[in-house]
């Protein structure tokens, strides 16, 4: 292909920072919070964008970008349509992985674990906080289903807009939150000569073991 040579020549040396077993937080949630706060200060577009990898019951993988909406000691929460492809994958196979890539800071974070549905009460709390158009869109979109065209989607949106005008919009029955409960973290800091820092945490009973991987 014409561009293959130019792609092969793409290079960047990572020099901004470094990461060591001695300087990271003892708890991976605290380390993630530290890095995420630094990301927020940089002013990136969609700093909470994360790549979610799932697999179905035949181990066929699927990957997409979703938005992190909450994180804490219990895990990482996002919201979606439960009947979507990712929702079906997670119903078949609750093991999943998420990835945050912050190029401007030469960092990425990988998290692996088990995904569970959050409570209906928690889902409603977040749903009610969304802009009106986002709530209507949740009713409009049968996510991952084939549709005849864009006009079908726009018409359906207007139907729900009229239906719920002046009313409290309920949470759609097939919409809600998932939480990824981590079993493994990897914090990656770009370094020169492709000798990157990879500091990992693995859950062993109730404690986190910290170790380094070769880049």
- Catalytic pick from 12, 110, 194, 198? 194
- CB-based burial label for 101 (10 Å; 0-12, 13-18, 19+): middle
- Number of neighbours of residue 32 by Cβ within 10 angstroms: 21
Q: Is 162 a catalytic residue?
A: no
The angle, 0 to 180 degrees and rounded to 10, between the axes of the packed helices 132-140 and 150-163 is 120
Asked if 180 and 75 count as a contact pair (C-beta separation under 8 A), the reply is yes
- The answer to whether 108 and 99 have CB atoms below 8 angstroms apart is yes
Q: What share of the chain is helix, strand, coil (3-state, %, to 5)?
A: 30, 35, 35
Tokens of 141: 């979109």
**CA–CA distance, 97 with 82 (Å, rounded to integer):** 18
Please tell me the distance from the alpha carbon of residue 76 to that of residue 49, in angstroms, as a whole number.
12
Catalytic positions are 194
């Amino acid at each position: 292909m014409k561009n293959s040579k130019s792609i092969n020549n793409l290079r960047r040396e990572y020099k901004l920072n470094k990461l060591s077993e001695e300087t990271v937080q003892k708890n991976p949630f605290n380390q993630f919070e530290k890095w995420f706060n630094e990301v927020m200060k940089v002013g990136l577009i969609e700093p909470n964008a994360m790549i979610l990898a799932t697999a179905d019951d035949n181990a066929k993988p699927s990957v997409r970008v979703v938005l992190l909406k909450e994180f804490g000691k219990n895990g990482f929460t996002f919201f979606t349509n439960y009947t979507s492809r990712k929702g079906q994958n997670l119903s078949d196979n609750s093991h999943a992985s998420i990835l945050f890539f912050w190029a401007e800071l030469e960092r990425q974070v990988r998290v692996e674990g088990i995904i569970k549905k959050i409570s209906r009460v928690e889902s409603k709390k977040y749903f009610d906080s969304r802009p009106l158009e986002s709530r209507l869109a949740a009713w409009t979109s049968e996510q991952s289903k084939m549709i005849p065209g864009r006009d079908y989607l726009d018409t359906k949106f207007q139907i729900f807009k009229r239906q719920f005008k002046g009313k409290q919009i309920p949470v759609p029955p097939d919409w809600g939150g998932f939480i990824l409960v981590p079993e493994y973290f990897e914090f990656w800091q770009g370094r020169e000569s492709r000798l990157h820092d990879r500091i990992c945490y693995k859950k062993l009973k109730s404690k986190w073991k910290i170790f380094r991987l070769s880049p």
